[in-house]
Structure 1
Amino acid sequence: MRFRLFLNLAFMLPLIGTAHAAQNRIDTIRPDAPELAKHGDHGVGRLTLELTNPDQIDILNVGDTGDLPIYDRRLTVEVYYPAQRNAAPTPMATFLRDGETEVVLHGISAAGAEPDRTGAPYPLVLVSHGYPGNRFLMSHLAENLASKGYVTVSIDHTDSTYRDKAAFGSTLVNRPLDQIFVLDELERLSTEAGGPLNGLVDTERTGLIGYSMGGYGALIAAGAGVTDVAVDYDWGAPGTTLARHLAGSDSHEALVDDRLAAIVAIGPWGRERDFWNADGMAGLRVPTLFVAGSEDDISGYEGGIRRLWEEGTGADRHLLTFVSANHNAAAPIPAPAESYFFSETLGWSPFEHYADAVWDSVRMNNILQHFTTAFMDLHIKGDTDKAAYLDLVPKAEDGVHAVSEDGFPTDSHTYWAGFADRTAKGLRFETLSKDQNAK
C-alpha cells in the first residue's frame, strides 16, 4: 500500500509542478484591489541591458594592507517601458531564492516590443531589490508602473543576487552607488542616437523604489547618511570603505542627486543595528513613502522602520503599515509554485522568502501598486489629484463609509480614498510633514 502510494505521488508530482508553474503570474489584480492598482493604458515592453561602472572599489578583495583594489563593476538591469498594446506578453526566466531552481514568470510585458513614443519621454523609476534578491523580485510593480507611463528599471545588484550572493560589505557600500550609476546610465542612453531608449526616458524627476537593503540604499541616495558606528563595524564593510556614505561627509553629499523626486522605502534595513540615528536621518530631503509590516523581524518596526519614518524630518513622508505582516510585506512577487518544495541547498522551503504568514501576497502587491501610483504620480508627474489618495484617516478601521443612494460620498464619509467598503482593514497610513516630529 505504501509502495503504491509512493508510485502515485512520483507520477503526480511532475504533473502538479507543471500545472503550478503555469500559474506563476505576477500581474493579478484582485476584485477587491484598491482603485489605482489596475494596469494603465499602455502596453509594456521589456529589454535587458548589461551596464559597467568602471573603476569601482572591489569591496570583496579589500585586504588588511589598506590598499583599495579597483575593478569594473558589471550590473544587469531589466527595463520595462510603455509599449504598443498589440505585442503578446512573453515569459520571464529567472531563479528562485536558492539560486539554482529555474522558474518562469508570466506578466503583461513583451520582450522587445515596439515602444509607445506618443507620450515620450517618460519619467524614470528605479527598482532595487533586497539582500539577496534579483531584478524580477518586484516585477509586479515594475510592469504595473510601466503600464501607467513610466520607464521602470530593475537592477540586479552584483554580489547581492540569488546567484552571486557574497560578503555583506559589498551591498553596504555599493547599493546607493549602483542606484545613482544606473540613473546616470539611463540619462546617457536616453540621448544615445539610434539606441533602443533614445528619446524614451526623462530622468529630471526620477523615482526610486527599494526593498530592504534596496530601501537602505534609497535612504542614502535621498540624503540620509550612516553613522560612525556603522562605518566601524568589523562585520560590515572592510576598512573605512563605508565612510563615503557617512552623514555630513563631502563624499555623501556629492552622491545625493537632485534628480530624485520621490522614493519608496519598503522595509528599509539598519536602524536597529545603529546604521542610522536621528542626525543622519534628518538629512533625508526627498519625499518618502515608507512601507512596513508591523511584525518585521528583519528590519524591525517600532525601533526600526517606524523610527526611521519619525526621524526623517528633512522631508515630507508617509508610513504605510500592514498590521501583523513580517518583512515580506508587499514587495516580493507571489511565491512561484516551485518555491513550495523543500530546498536541499537552503535547508528550508524558498516559499518563506516570498510569502507572509498572515497576508495574501497578491493583496499586498495590489495595495503597494495603488499607493506607489498615487505617490509617484503626485511627486513625479505633478498630478495633484492624487494627493487625495494620501490624505487618509490613519487607522483604516476608523474610516466611515457613508455614501448616498446614488453612490456619492456624503459629508460624513471618511473611508480611505480608492478603497471599497470593508477592503482597507488591517492597514495604517500616517503622514509627517517636513520638520514635523512624531507625537
Structure 2
Amino acid sequence: MSRSPLRGALAAAAALLVLATPAAALAAPYPLGAPAAAAAPDRAPTLALPRPTGPHAVGTTALHLVDGSRTDPWAAGRPRELMVSIWYPARTAKGERAPYMTVKEAELLLKEQGAGAEVVNALAGTRTNAVTGAAPLGRRHGLPLVVLSPGFGMPRSSLTALAEDLASRGYAVAGIDHTHESPTTFPDGRTTPCTTCESGGTPAFGEKSTRVRAADVSFVLDRLTGKDPAWKHARLIDRSRIGMAGHSLGGNSATHTMLTDPRVRAGVNMDGTFWIPIPDRGLRKPFMLLGAGEAHAQGGSDPTWGRDWKNMTGWKRWVTVKGMGHNAFTDYAPLLGDLIKNEDMFGTLPGARSLEITRTYVGAFFDLHLRGRSRPLLDRAAERYPEVTVKR
C-alpha cells in the first residue's frame, strides 16, 4: 500500500498527452475520455481538474511555515520548514486560478524518465478550480478543518481535487508538503527534491516518517489555531472540529496523529500501510479505512489493516472499492489514469469514477463526524455505488 511514487506513470501518460490529445478535449470538466485526434505540434496540452461538487466557490492560499523548535529530521542543522496550501469556501469564483504546482516541482517529479519540457509543463500547468486569495465565505469559528497528507514521494497538490471538493462543501482544508518526501518549492525560489525517495519503503523509514508527519500536522495546527495564526482568516476555523485524511503513507500517519494530538477527532486512511501499530489501548475516535481492490474485502492483502482493525475501538468502517488501484485516490487518476491501463496503479475504474467515489465517501465521513449530519451511505450498500463494500 505505501508504494513507490508513480513517477513513471505520470511521465508515460503525460507523454501520450503531448502526442495524442488536443487541448480542447483536455480542458473539459472530465478531461480524459476516448482517444482523440493528434494535436497540432504548436498546441500545448492542457490538463484540468474536475469541478468540485459543492455549492460554494473555492479560494486558496499558500503558507510558508518554519518550526524553529524542531530540527529537520531529513536535513541536519536546519529548522523544519513546510509549505501548506489552504482551501476554503469563497464568496466568488472570479479571479486568477491557483497554480497546480511549479515547473521545478514537476521537473523533479518526472526527472527519472527524462521528461521533456512539454510533459513537465503539461503537468505543472494543470488547470485548478480554486481562486488565489479569494475572499472567504463563512462566519467566525464556522468551518470544520480537514488536514490532508499526501502519499510518499507525492506533493500536496496530488490531493487538490479532493481538497477543492471539501472546500466547496464548506470545509477549510490544509494540504501539507512533508519536506524532503516530495519536491517542494518555497517562496524564495528554492525547490527541495525528494531526498528520501531512495531510502523509502523500509519499516524503519515508514516508522520514522509516520512520526515526522504527525509532528508536522501538530505544528500546522498550532500555526492555524494558536494565538498568532499564520493564515489571516484563521478565525473562521472551528478548533473543536478537526479531521485528517491521507493517501498511502499520509493515510497511515492519520492514526498516529490522532493518538498523539487530541485536536484531531476523526480520520481516514486511503490505502496506506500502518507502519506504527495502533496500541492495545485502542483508538476510540472515528476512523475509516478506504481501500482499493477486492482483496481488502476479505481481510486485505496488507496484514496491517486486519491487525489494526481490531484496535479501532470507536466508530469505524472498512470501505473497499472494487476496481480502484492504489493511486486512484489521487488527482492522477482523473488526469492521467485513463491514458495508461496500469491496474496496479489506477485499477480498472475510469479515473473520473474513482475520484467521484473518493470525494463522496471521504466527504460523507467528515459530514457525519465533524458536522453531525446523517450519512446512511456509510452504513449499507448504495445502489449508486455497486463497486463499494462497507464493513462495520
- TM-score, normalised to structure 2's length? 0.73
Deviation of 1:328 after TM superposition, in Å, equals: 1.7
For residue 312 of structure 1, what is the aligned residue in structure 2? 311
Deviation of 1:338 after TM superposition, in Å, equals: 11
The unaligned stretches of length 5 or more in structure 1 are 1-11, 29-37, 62-68, 224-255, 341-348, 397-415, 432-439
Cα distance in 2 for partners of 1:81, 1:126 equals 12
Residue type at the aligned position of 1:288: F
For residue 424 of structure 1, what is the aligned residue in structure 2? 385
Cα distance in 2 for partners of 1:358, 1:292 equals 14
Contact 2:67 2:81 in 1 (8 A): yes
Secondary structure of 1:206's aligned partner: strand
Say which of 147, 150, 171 aligns to 2:209.
171
For residue 389 of structure 1, what is the aligned residue in structure 2? 377
**1:9-48 pair list within 5 angstroms:** 13=18, 16=21, 18-19=23-24, 22=27, 23=31, 24-28=47-51, 39-48=53-62
Cα distance in 2 for partners of 1:220, 1:337 equals 32
For residue 265 of structure 2, what is the aligned residue in structure 1? 261
Residue type at the aligned position of 1:44: V
For residue 356 of structure 1, what is the aligned residue in structure 2? 346
The answer as to 2:126 corresponding to 1:105 is: yes
Secondary structure of 2:326's aligned partner: coil
Cα distance in 1 for partners of 2:156, 2:335 equals 15
The answer as to 2:364 corresponding to 1:374 is: yes
Per-residue deviation, residues 368-420 of structure 1 (Å, max 9, x unmatched): 2111222111111122x22x22110xxx4xxxxxxxxxxxxxxxxxxx2xxxx
Deviation of 1:45 after TM superposition, in Å, equals: 0.5
Change over 3 Å in CA distance of 1:296–1:119 after alignment to 2: farther
Deviation of 1:192 after TM superposition, in Å, equals: 4.5
Cα distance in 2 for partners of 1:20, 1:288 equals 39
Say which of 221, 226, 243 aligns to 1:188.
226
Cα distance in 1 for partners of 2:280, 2:349 equals 30
Secondary structure of 2:74's aligned partner: helix
Change over 3 Å in CA distance of 1:196–1:55 after alignment to 2: closer
Contact 1:328 1:353 in 2 (8 A): no
Contact 1:53 1:72 in 2 (8 A): yes
Residue type at the aligned position of 2:155: N
Residue type at the aligned position of 1:180: S
The unaligned stretches of length 5 or more in structure 2 are 1-16, 32-46, 185-192
Change over 3 Å in CA distance of 1:382–1:117 after alignment to 2: same
Change over 3 Å in CA distance of 1:173–1:86 after alignment to 2: closer
Deviation of 1:14 after TM superposition, in Å, equals: 6.7
Deviation of 1:135 after TM superposition, in Å, equals: 1.1
Contact 1:296 1:327 in 2 (8 A): no
For residue 240 of structure 2, what is the aligned residue in structure 1? 204
Contact 2:334 2:355 in 1 (8 A): no
Cα distance in 2 for partners of 1:288, 1:83 equals 29
Contact 2:181 2:195 in 1 (8 A): yes
Cα distance in 2 for partners of 1:220, 1:295 equals 26
Contact 2:141 2:239 in 1 (8 A): no
Deviation of 1:58 after TM superposition, in Å, equals: 3.7
Per-residue deviation, residues 267-326 of structure 1 (Å, max 9, x unmatched): 1224xxxx345x6265323211111113689xx933436415523333221111112433
Contact 1:210 1:266 in 2 (8 A): yes
Cα distance in 2 for partners of 1:369, 1:305 equals 24
Deviation of 1:15 after TM superposition, in Å, equals: 8.3
The answer as to 2:99 corresponding to 1:92 is: yes
- The alignment covers a number of residue pairs equal to 326
For residue 182 of structure 2, what is the aligned residue in structure 1? 161
The answer as to 2:74 corresponding to 1:60 is: yes
Deviation of 1:88 after TM superposition, in Å, equals: 4.1
Say which of 119, 126, 144 aligns to 2:165.
144
Change over 3 Å in CA distance of 1:339–1:292 after alignment to 2: closer
- TM-score, normalised to structure 1's length? 0.66
